[in-house]
Structure 1
């Protein structure tokens, strides 16, 4: 072993990772699942300088972790590696491991050093560049809803709400915005807040939502849209870890329970000029063009906003989810809401995506639609007043197959996301749908086994 090789196998005392035994190197796949490697801190210096190798097929995995070979990213290319570069600004402690640990995000490169086409971070960066070319800089905030569920399932195998802390009573109802519910779950929420502070995740406030064990945590606005999405995937990881330590699971499934509200991912977007001024606040025509672009492209983007079978269980009337390409001022029944507030904070709230979606791809689709509306100077339809669900408006695709068909037909979305990514995502999700459709469900046995 030569001297240069030996120096990579210890941590310098003053290095940022010197106090950690292991470090998780993480890459977000197309499903929003974090994948990667765990290394000893002694290997960190080499990993930072040289990168690490992972197979390109990590971006061909379906939600079950199975490689979708038809994407061409697996055995067809020998399941070959690509280089992943660590992102030093994302290095943070991991307090839930038994030994001193940390985590860091990565992004994947092509063999020539250019961004790898299937990495969702790069897909988003590609869209953002279009707005930068116009002198516009998106400012983004993410809101995430989730459920806490008991680790003990019901006798039928279905999830159930957790036991209220300090009692033997299982949650059976809730009051939206209830401070009592927040008090009951104070220990859990405080621990989440502490982890967020430690990991530099800018969590703002927590809200009790419409169903037992359902909460929403909001992240503050970020002038870098990629950072906002980094923080969203890290927030999900933190919430799951804290819940597990508390003897529960946190689920970001779009629809965990029949008859209860689903969990959404709401995205707030404004555009800043080169001086950092909010152009939506001064140019309402530009805001309406951004709205028009999103109204126009919503149907073809549904496969990104609702990426799996369970996503479409959420898309039901009277369940606090918009079903039409509509917009309005301070109206929570529409897809695109312009919240009330100070003029300087004028922004667009996109309310369609589920909490199960990939934040990078959701924001990429929204910003692509913003750019499309501005580039084509589209005119927004009239804003909705009142309950949009009671109006005779065209429905968004609410079946997975229909959403994938609209996605497949979208030339403009393919141009924004990249043709190769568009193709790989479509193949991946069509494969997943076909696999899902082959399974016989318990409900089918219940309905048909003894009666047909």
Structure 2
């Protein structure tokens, strides 16, 4: 049996010839929580991965965020914990230049033994939505932004995490200093290593920003003509940032809201629809007039946002990020050149017109975010949904109550209930992934609700 038409052996053969120092390879399968799981294989085993695939158990996609089985996914003992087969993703075999002895990594996707895509693999959900839009002449393009904190590897005097001291001189501060260049200079050894490693991996890493809290940073990636590759970029960048930070005695924190009263970390997705010939379906014909395809895309995203929020905010901590006036959108609003909204049309030339989708936290899975966003766009295009009036910059949020805003979930549990009942989300993710993802989230909710946090003792112990 031949494998699915993905990465050819010749790609790996050229890589190994160029990198004789590589001794082993991480094979990385991304689960529903966005966690990379897999194996480290030896150099000589890479050829069989490319020619024959590699067995991995179905249960690897039925794990909660702690790595424990969630039987309700139907992917563990209901399948006898059966082996399926992973195949390498083209263009993702890359060195890990910070490893000694030298290793590489390659992303993989999971297939049945018959070669058919396995429905619970998040990457396949995005592939289906891309293929559906391409059938109608739309080619999804985009890029993700990565916000995160750099923290000390050891807690502060109060026993809690704290922002990392400057790598150059050990200096600490508790000021926000958004867009501050001095902070970036102070972390130069860390970010120099990140840029060097990104270059070695072929990641189009671009701008570095000091974000809206001490120890918070943002890295941007160059726009890709294929949204799948943009999601692969984000997965690879997160692994890279975490590894480099660890080697500098720091923790790269991808929690959506690690600190009370400080900004949360988002994973904004910039998305547009190409025409396959270098054009952009979102480009306006007259200055300042959004074309119908862009308006309908925004309308579809707004219309489906309420039932999609579990994808954009998948964990208990995710919901702490949605605080007014801290740049995390709390309503399905839209606007032009306005960072207070959920769906922003950035300023810029018409040929670069796009939507910046802002609700997702950095803890979300980029494949699931991409699949859900594209499904929302398709929904808007198919039904010619108008988004209503744009929010006016400087006006109080949230937007006026409408059928959409009135049904927005206000917490994690409401988001889970909406997601479980959503026919739209089932179509966006596919029935297998919809079932396994919501089962994993329900198991995580039960774990969180069963725990007794310190706050309970502070509020109730003596009262």
TM range (shorter): over 0.9
Identify the residue that residue 355 of structure 2 maps to in structure 1.
348
- Secondary structure of residue in 2 paired with 1:89: coil
Change (3 A) 1:96 1:217: same
* TM-score w.r.t. length of structure 2: 0.92
Change (3 A) 1:77 1:391: closer
- Secondary structure of residue in 1 paired with 2:100: coil
**Partners of 2:226 and 2:96 in 1: CA distance:** 24
Any idea what the Cα deviations from partners look like across 1:397-426, whole Å, max 9, x if unmatched? 231000011111211221232112111111
Whether the aligned pair in 1 keeps the contact of 2:166 and 2:183 (CA below 8 Å) is no
Structure 2: where are the runs of 5+ without partners? 1-12, 286-290
1:325-344 matches, within 5 Å, as 325-344=332-351
Identify the residue that residue 29 of structure 1 maps to in structure 2.
31
Whether the aligned pair in 1 keeps the contact of 2:168 and 2:188 (CA below 8 Å) is no
| Count of aligned pairs | 441
- Secondary structure of residue in 2 paired with 1:103: strand
- Secondary structure of residue in 1 paired with 2:123: helix
Any idea what the Cα deviations from partners look like across 1:290-312, whole Å, max 9, x if unmatched? 00000000001100000011000
The counterpart of 2:448, out of the listed 425, 430, 436, is 436
**Partners of 2:329 and 2:343 in 1: CA distance:** 9
**Partners of 2:50 and 2:428 in 1: CA distance:** 31
- Secondary structure of residue in 1 paired with 2:91: helix
Identify the residue that residue 377 of structure 2 maps to in structure 1.
370
**Partners of 1:13 and 1:210 in 2: CA distance:** 40
Change (3 A) 1:337 1:88: closer
**Partners of 2:355 and 2:375 in 1: CA distance:** 14
Any idea what the Cα deviations from partners look like across 1:110-141, whole Å, max 9, x if unmatched? 22211110111101001111101101001111
Change (3 A) 1:430 1:248: same
**Partners of 2:184 and 2:25 in 1: CA distance:** 33
The counterpart of 1:81, out of the listed 72, 80, 83, is 83
**Partners of 1:415 and 1:104 in 2: CA distance:** 29
Change (3 A) 1:58 1:174: same
Verify: 1:448 aligned to 2:460, yes or no: yes
Identify the residue that residue 302 of structure 2 maps to in structure 1.
295
Verify: 1:218 aligned to 2:220, yes or no: yes
Identify the residue that residue 272 of structure 1 maps to in structure 2.
274
Verify: 1:405 aligned to 2:417, yes or no: yes
Identify the residue that residue 359 of structure 1 maps to in structure 2.
366
Identify the residue that residue 121 of structure 1 maps to in structure 2.
123
1:199-210 matches, within 5 Å, as 199-210=201-212
**Partners of 2:148 and 2:308 in 1: CA distance:** 22
Identify the residue that residue 5 of structure 1 maps to in structure 2.
none
- Give the superposition deviation at 1:17: 5.5
Identify the residue that residue 133 of structure 1 maps to in structure 2.
135
Whether the aligned pair in 1 keeps the contact of 2:24 and 2:40 (CA below 8 Å) is yes
Structure 1: where are the runs of 5+ without partners? 1-10
Identify the residue that residue 6 of structure 2 maps to in structure 1.
none
- Secondary structure of residue in 2 paired with 1:73: coil
The 4+ residue runs of structure 1 with deviation greater than 6 A are 11-14
The counterpart of 2:155, out of the listed 153, 156, 167, is 153
Verify: 1:58 aligned to 2:85, yes or no: no
**Partners of 1:319 and 1:20 in 2: CA distance:** 44
Whether the aligned pair in 2 keeps the contact of 1:334 and 1:388 (CA below 8 Å) is no
Change (3 A) 1:42 1:402: same
- Give the superposition deviation at 1:42: 1.3
Whether the aligned pair in 2 keeps the contact of 1:18 and 1:41 (CA below 8 Å) is no
**Partners of 1:246 and 1:389 in 2: CA distance:** 41
- Secondary structure of residue in 2 paired with 1:277: coil
Identify the residue that residue 71 of structure 2 maps to in structure 1.
69
**Partners of 1:169 and 1:136 in 2: CA distance:** 50
- Give the superposition deviation at 1:88: 4.3
- Give the superposition deviation at 1:343: 0.9
- Give the superposition deviation at 1:14: 6.4
- Secondary structure of residue in 1 paired with 2:84: strand
- Secondary structure of residue in 1 paired with 2:319: helix
The counterpart of 2:326, out of the listed 301, 314, 319, is 319
Give the superposed CA RMSD: 1.6
Whether the aligned pair in 2 keeps the contact of 1:315 and 1:398 (CA below 8 Å) is no
Whether the aligned pair in 1 keeps the contact of 2:147 and 2:267 (CA below 8 Å) is yes
Whether the aligned pair in 1 keeps the contact of 2:333 and 2:399 (CA below 8 Å) is no
**Partners of 2:71 and 2:98 in 1: CA distance:** 35
